[in-house]
Amino acid sequence: MNEFFTGGSAADRGTSFHTKNVLNQRNVKKNVMESYNHVTDFLDIVTEGYVCLLAMKQLNVSSLSGKPPNADNIDDSWDAKEEYVYSVAKNVVDEIWMPFSDSSLKAIVEGDSPDITKDAQCVSSNTCRDSIAIDNHNAREARREDHVYNYSCALLWKCLNDRVRKDAVRHNDGPMMVADWRHDTVDFWNKGHPKYLILAHRFLAGVNGWWPPRLANEIIWNRTVNLHGGSGHNIVMDLCNEFLNNEFKESLKKTRGRYTTEHISRLSQMGGSMGKSLHKISEHEISRTHIIQSGGGCDHAKQVKKFVTEYKSDKLFDIVPGRYHSAFAGYKYSTEIKNTQNFHRRLKKYSVKLDRSRQVVPRSSQQ
């Protein structure tokens, strides 16, 4: 949020702050800790809205209900339709693909300075994913000079990365969560978060051989819980504990200080799925027949449609050299890693500390 969200961009169409005002998301704040759930919902809407705009550009349609010009050429079979949707999704991701430059990653491993002449600034997957330079120099320069396009691609890239991380947690995809930590390690260094960098290094070192195999396997595959059952409903363990603690505290508040040890024990057992089941039964049998229920909340689909309707004429993903947001003048998303030699030394220092701690621990306790 710090990189893309600022009050000075309230008049810049297509920025996250302007979108907040358009969608009337008043509870969204720059400090994510103050409004985490609202920010999460807002970013989900922004992500889907940007994806729709970019897909509309790829398909050459002017509305969400528009029909692509080549739609009649697609076979009517399910496999053909699935392949077509996959190709569109791939083109969307290719448009905004922005991984770290190969030379920077190599420099971290070897402890050298990156050779920036081998990497063109990344604003297109054709540059970074296949490690080939863009043949048309003018096209590359046009992308660099359209700062609105750069901002839109960078914001969507970050939002999709966040969505990928959520998906890995929801499905308890251990190897994918490890890959996310590996990617975030570089972000922690670039943005100056040493505490998180230490945690990431310990985790990655542990699952890659520093921990015993049994413990490493448990850490990779036993990081989430599923309170409700079904696929895609996992949450991280610390968040689960927070939910259960909050439910217990809310139940305890209703006693107004008059409770016994047995009462506390009963309330603790009613947390989580059991408490929710009892609440649903109560709501069905009593609340719905005696209490008038009012509608409310945010209609996600309507918000995405409103986003697309509002910004489809702005051509946020068309390359128009010279455009810029006043609050983000000259914006360019850098894929370079800062101070690669220092980063290499820092990681080596952390590794030496881990090796020293291993030597202190008795050999029998390591098995």
Confidence at residue 135, expressed as pLDDT on a 0 to 100 scale: 42
pLDDT digits (tens, 9 = 90+) for 290-325: 444 444 456 889 999 999 999 999 999 998 888 889
Domain ranges of the chain: 1-172+300-336
Separation between Cα atoms, residue 360 and residue 356, nearest integer Å: 7
Confidence at residue 274, expressed as pLDDT on a 0 to 100 scale: 56
Confidence at residue 42, expressed as pLDDT on a 0 to 100 scale: 92
pLDDT digits (tens, 9 = 90+) for 30-88: 888 888 889 999 999 999 999 999 999 988 888 888 888 887 788 888 888 889 889 99
Query: In the predicted model, is pLDDT for residue 22 greater than 80?
Result: yes
Q: Which residue has the tokens 């996310």?
A: 180
- Model confidence at 366, pLDDT cuts 50, 70, 90, reads low
Give the mean pLDDT of the chain.
80
pLDDT digits (tens, 9 = 90+) for 121-164: 444 444 444 444 434 445 555 667 889 999 999 999 999 999 99
Confidence at residue 130, expressed as pLDDT on a 0 to 100 scale: 47
